[in-house]
Structure formats: C-alpha cells, structure tokens
Chains A and B, each alone.
Chain A
Amino acid sequence: MGELRLMKGNEAVAEAAIRAGCDGYFGYPITPQSEIMEYLMSEKPYETTGMVVLQAESEVASINMLYGGAGTGKRVMTSSSSPGISLMQEGISYMAGAELPALLVNVVRGGPGLGTIQPSQADYFQSVKGGGHGDYKIIVLAPASVQEMADFAKLGFELAFKYRTPVMIQSDGAIGQMMEKVELFDPIPRRTEEELIAQCPWAATGKPKNRDHIIITSLDLDPAGQERVNLKLQAKYRQIEEKEVLFEEISCEDAEYVFVAFGLSARICQKSIDMARAQGIKVGLFRPITLYPFPTKQIAALAKKVKGMLVVEMNAGQMIEDVKLSAGCSVKIEHYGRFGGIIPAPDEVVRALEKQIIGG
C-alpha cells in the first residue's frame, strides 16, 4: 500500500506531479487553484527531484513556457481556473498543432466572465470541443475525488507522451478545495538527459552531427502540407477514441433509469441513488471519466437497456449534447443543472428524476 495522506485536491495533484517525474511547473495565481503552486513552492522539488517551479507573469506566459519546455521533451505542467484557461487557449491550440505533450489542470469556477470563485462544470464545451482555433482535441480527464486528482496526474503524463498531445484534468472548485484520504503512488524518478533524448527523438534538444535539425512548429504555409498535418491529427484522435475511453458504472445492473454525470456531479448522484433506491426507484449512475474521448458506445448500449436518462451537470446543459448524440432518439434524455457556483443537493436531483423522467 502506498503512503496515505489527508490532502486537498489541489495539493494532491501537485504532490502527484512531483512523484510522476514532472520536470517543470509554470503557473499564475487564480482562485480556486492557487494551492497547487503554493504547495509546489513550499515543497521545493527543485532541491529534491530537480523539478523547476516558476511563477509566470500571466497565464499567456505560462502556457507558452509549457510550449517551450514540452518542445524540448520535458514533462511540464500548468494549472489555472476558468478565466485563466481561456487566456491559455491560443497556446493549447499551438501545442496541439505542434504535437506537444503537457499536463493542464483546470479547477473550474463559475462563469461567464470573471463569474465566481465557486465550483462549476461550465467549461465542458471549452475543454472537450477544442477551446482554441483549428481542428484539434485534447484528452480530458474528469476526477470525482481527491484520489483521482493524484492518480490522473500520473495518467495524464502517460497519455500526453503516448500520443504527444496536451492532456487536461478538468476538476472544479469543490474537488480542488475538499480534503480526503489519498493513497499516493511511489515516486518515479525524472528522466535523465540521455533517457529523454532516447525516448523523445522528436524533441529539440540540440542538434548533434548525426541527425537533421529539429523544428517544433504548428506552421505549414502549403495547404497540402497543412491538410496532411490535420489528417495526421485526426488519425491520432481516432486512435485515442478507440483505445483510451474510461468510464464508471454504479448500480446499473438492474437500473431502469440512469444518471449521467461527471466529476463532482457524479459524486452527488451517488447519494441520490441511495435516496432514490430507498424509495424503490431503480436508478444507476454512468460516469464518463474521459470527457474526450467520450464513452459513446457505452452510452449507446446503456440507452437500449433503460427507460430514461437524467444528465446532471453544474452547467446549463453541455455534456447532454454528447449523451444525446451517443444515445440517439431511443430513450428519453433530460438535463438537470445548477449554475454559477451552486452545487445541487442529492434530494433535488432525485426530485428532478421523478419530475422530468419518471413522471414526465
């Protein structure tokens, strides 16, 4: 068993990054995720593992520092919350285009605009549908616990380097701030220069005599060349969709109805299941863990077995579009959402199920 600690979600993802052999963190303070950089600065990993921790002048600078570090093959990460992630979108698009691996953490708060510092899930579209310009996707992991904040830091780096793509952990203000027991994995040493050069032959590390110079860019002015870049990216995304889908089903075996929810909403739905089942309503939970790639096939299969689905999100109805595209018109699908930093209570979710799905 690994080391057990009581930690905030923000602290857990920071500790896990050090343990996952992260080479550099670059960030800018914003509530509700500032504990990530605070934890890293107080832990001083630059004195132990050699990991660089730098407070940048803006989120724009942070994401471009990530681009620089990632282009040289280093394991780099940043974190921010919704308005800051909006500022990073240009850089994320460049990294997707240049096929650079990096870990991004979005501890989502309510919007639009400066919004609120309370938890929200209103950045689903931004994370999953692209966010920046151009045809690209990033892998999006949605933790529902402090444990997953830690585990997904390691998984995120693995997927980022496996596919040479940015990976985002889309958390929220509640998962980031709440404290839970975490079992930490054993530290993985940072790669040596020799290991990095062997593992990342695509990285700009200094041109030796025996290879061509390496160019890291997202630019190809020739339309045919740029179409080839896009086709290569799309082929990669089809592979990710085929191989990397993660999801969880709770109490779905005998379920007549299901909640479909991710992250914090899925945690709330677990309690709603207990309450509904005490009333004799057979309801289960389907939780997408990867928001991209989306568990399309699994939801399509589930839709054939149940009488209705209630998509519960802390937004005005974003993931429900993907649920409907997956399930088709075979089953009734409704949305229940609270916005602007309001967290739905388990009993109001049960009432919504009764009103919108069972009675509706």
Chain B
Amino acid sequence: MEEPFVKTDIRKEENIVYKRTNLLVDRPLSYCPGCGHGVVHRMLMETLEEMGLQDKTIGVSPVGCSVLAYDFMNIDMLGAAHGRAPALATAIKRMWPNRFVFTYQGDGDLAAIGTAETIHACNRGENFVIIFINNGIYGMTGGQMAPTTLPNMRSSTSPYGRDVSIMGHPLKMTELVAQLPGTYYVTRQAVHTPSHVRKTKKALRKAFENQKNNTGISFVEVVSNCNSGWKMTPVQSNKWMEENMFPFYPLGDIKVDGKLVEQKEAVTKE
C-alpha cells in the first residue's frame, strides 16, 4: 500500500497550532490554486468567529468567481444578481439592524454593472461592510477586460492591451467612494504575503467593529492576483501584481474614522 501523502499520525491535539475555522465549511474551494479568494474567505470567517458573530451575520455573495462563496462560508447568506449586492445588503441591514451584514464582490460586479448600487449605498451611509476583491479582470467568464484592468494590460477582450483612448480608463472605485460622506473606513489591502494577510485581517476586524457603532460603510478592497486570467504561474502573478497593480492601486488606508488620510507616495515594498 502507498504511503498517504499527509502523515496523519502527527494529528494530535497538543500538536495543533493552526486549524480551519468552524465558520468555513469543510469542502474544497472552487478557486484556482494560487488565487487570493480563499485567503480572504478565511480571514473574513476567522474575524467573524473571533468576534462571535456567526449567529448574527447575514452575508451577500456576488456574481463572479465568488458566486459560490455561500457554499464555503458557514453563515446565512444570499446570492445576489450581478452587481446588486449593496441593494440587498441595504434592505437586510435596515430591517435587521441588530445583525451584521456584509457584501463580498469582485471588480466587475462592484465597479461595472453594480456602480450605481455601490455609490448610492456608500452615499447613504448604510451600516454594512463591503469587501471588494480587485484582480483587474473578469475571472469566471474567462479573463475579459474589467473596469479595473490596467492601461495596456491584456485580456481576452483587450487582446492587444487596454488602449485607454478607445476602451476608457481603469476606475479607482475605492478612492471614489472615499470621497462620499457615507463612508467611514476605506482601505486597500493585499493577501499575497503573510504580513499583508495579517494587515487584511486587521482591516476586516476594524470594519466589523465599526458596524457595531453604526458609523456608515466600511469598505475593504483587497488587490488580488488572477494567475489563471493573467496567464501566469501564481508566483509570477504575485510579482506582476506588486510591479504593476500596486503602483496604480496603492495599498493602505484611504479614509479612517470618517477622515481622509493624507495621500502617501506609492507603496513600500516588502
């Protein structure tokens, strides 16, 4: 008999230093290996578990790669139509003010088809958390140009690169919503290194703490790779992301406690 790949004999209670949160369902994720979605799912569910919010949270998943997020997150969830998650969340939070509500959306969902719902939910100062995964591409449908695709970046609908004179400019939705009076906390993070993962988790914690005080929208963007859509290995895609995405989408807090943060020069690399 073949040796099992995973040695199970070391699985003893005293050896456990890290385990799956109970708020993630025990099933394989549908994401490509190397993609950031799985990490964000985990950070989000760990945050809710640590805050003891499983029974008080209602989540809204989008249309896009994370359309099946509700299969992995062990909380009550609704699957929205493409772009409409902030409309669902608006009604849920207004009718269940004692529940914690979040939307989890990609860049096509949040910054293209759902632009109106995003802007107006932010501008009304709804009391929920928006988690925005930006990988600059439509992943699920096969790598088409997204509202966030960088200038000259190739995609299946901009095969010679995004020509901004014809195809328009990438949209910095996060900077845009930070200008609105209804947003309280706006930040941009990443999950491609352990230190970035920790920062993202802190940002998620802050976002849900804000919701306790009904401060308005907390908006957490995570710049993520899409190794499949970008046609790269995971390692290449993370390097490409640092060199190309971060200069255009600089990481860090944009608005904290309702006040815009002084704009810093580009990003510090790890």
Q: What is the CA–CA distance of A91 and B68 in the complex, to the nearest angstrom?
A: 19
Q: What is the CB-to-nearest-CB distance from A35 to chain B, in angstroms, rounded to a whole number?
A: 22
B95 touches A69 (CB 8 A): yes
- Across the interface, B76 reaches (CB within 8 A) one of A26, A61, A91, A206, namely A206
Q: What is the CB-to-nearest-CB distance from A160 to chain B, in angstroms, rounded to a whole number?
A: 16
A65 touches B87 (CB 8 A): yes
User: Which residues on B are within 8 Å of A, measured CB to CB?
Assistant: 25, 54-58, 60, 67-68, 70-71, 73-81, 84, 87-92, 94-96, 99, 116-117, 120
A205 touches B91 (CB 8 A): no
Residues on the A chain within 8 Å of B70, using CB: 213, 215, 217
Known A57-B117, A57-B120; contact A208-B55, beta-carbon cutoff 8 A: yes
A205 touches B79 (CB 8 A): no
B76 touches A69 (CB 8 A): no
Residues on the A chain within 8 Å of B80, using CB: 64, 67-68
Residues on the A chain within 8 Å of B91, using CB: 24, 26, 52, 54, 65-69, 74, 76
Known A26-B91, A58-B116, A65-B88; contact A204-B76, beta-carbon cutoff 8 A: yes
Residues on the A chain within 8 Å of B56, using CB: 206
A204 touches B88 (CB 8 A): no
Given contacts A72-B95, A207-B76, A219-B68, 11 further A-B contacts (CB under 8 A): A67-B88, A69-B91, A90-B81, A204-B76, A205-B96, A206-B54, A206-B55, A206-B76, A213-B75, A215-B78, A217-B78
Number of A-B contacts (CB under 8 A): 125
Q: What is the CA–CA distance of A219 and B78 in the complex, to the nearest angstrom?
A: 11
Q: What is the CA–CA distance of A61 and B87 in the complex, to the nearest angstrom?
A: 6
Instruction: List CB contacts (< 8 Å) of A73-118 with chain B.
Output: 74, 76, 90-91, 94, 98
- Across the interface, B96 reaches (CB within 8 A) one of A65, A72, A98, A219, namely A72
Residues on the A chain within 8 Å of B79, using CB: 98, 215-219
A68 touches B120 (CB 8 A): no
A281 proximal to B (CB < 8 A): no
Residue among A23, A91, A204 having the largest count of chain B Cβ atoms under 10 Å: A204
Nearest neighbor of B77 in chain A, beta-carbon distance: A215
Q: List 23 A-B contacts (CB under 8 A).
A: A24-B95, A52-B95, A57-B117, A57-B120, A60-B116, A62-B87, A64-B80, A65-B87, A66-B91, A67-B78, A68-B88, A68-B90, A69-B92, A76-B91, A206-B56, A206-B96, A207-B57, A207-B76, A208-B55, A209-B55, A214-B77, A215-B78, A219-B68
Instruction: List CB contacts (< 8 Å) of A13-68 with chain B.
Output: 23-24, 26, 52, 54, 56-58, 60-62, 64-68
A71 proximal to B (CB < 8 A): yes
Q: What is the CA–CA distance of A175 and B55 in the complex, to the nearest angstrom?
A: 45
Residues on the B chain within 8 Å of A68, using CB: 60, 78, 80, 87-92
- Across the interface, A214 reaches (CB within 8 A) one of B67, B76, B88, namely B76
Residues on the A chain within 8 Å of B54, using CB: 206-207
B89 touches A57 (CB 8 A): no
Instruction: List CB contacts (< 8 Å) of A284-324 with chain B.
Output: none
Nearest neighbor of B123 in chain A, beta-carbon distance: A57
Residues on the A chain within 8 Å of B60, using CB: 68
Q: What is the CA–CA distance of A71 and B57 in the complex, to the nearest angstrom?
A: 14
Residues on the B chain within 8 Å of A26, using CB: 91
Q: What is the CB-to-nearest-CB distance from B123 to chain A, in angstroms, rounded to a whole number?
A: 9
Q: What is the CB-to-nearest-CB distance from B49 to chain A, in angstroms, rounded to a whole number?
A: 12
Residues on the B chain within 8 Å of A205, using CB: 58, 76, 96, 99
Residues on the B chain within 8 Å of A54, using CB: 90-91, 94
Q: What is the CB-to-nearest-CB distance from B229 to chain A, in angstroms, rounded to a whole number?
A: 20
A91 touches B81 (CB 8 A): yes
Q: What is the CA–CA distance of A26 and B124 in the complex, to the nearest angstrom?
A: 14
A60 touches B58 (CB 8 A): no
Residue among B57, B71, B74, B75 having the largest count of chain A Cβ atoms under 10 Å: B75
Q: What is the CB-to-nearest-CB distance from A63 to chain B, in angstroms, rounded to a whole number?
A: 8
- Across the interface, A207 reaches (CB within 8 A) one of B55, B68, B89, namely B55
Residues on the B chain within 8 Å of A76, using CB: 91, 95
Nearest neighbor of A210 in chain B, beta-carbon distance: B55
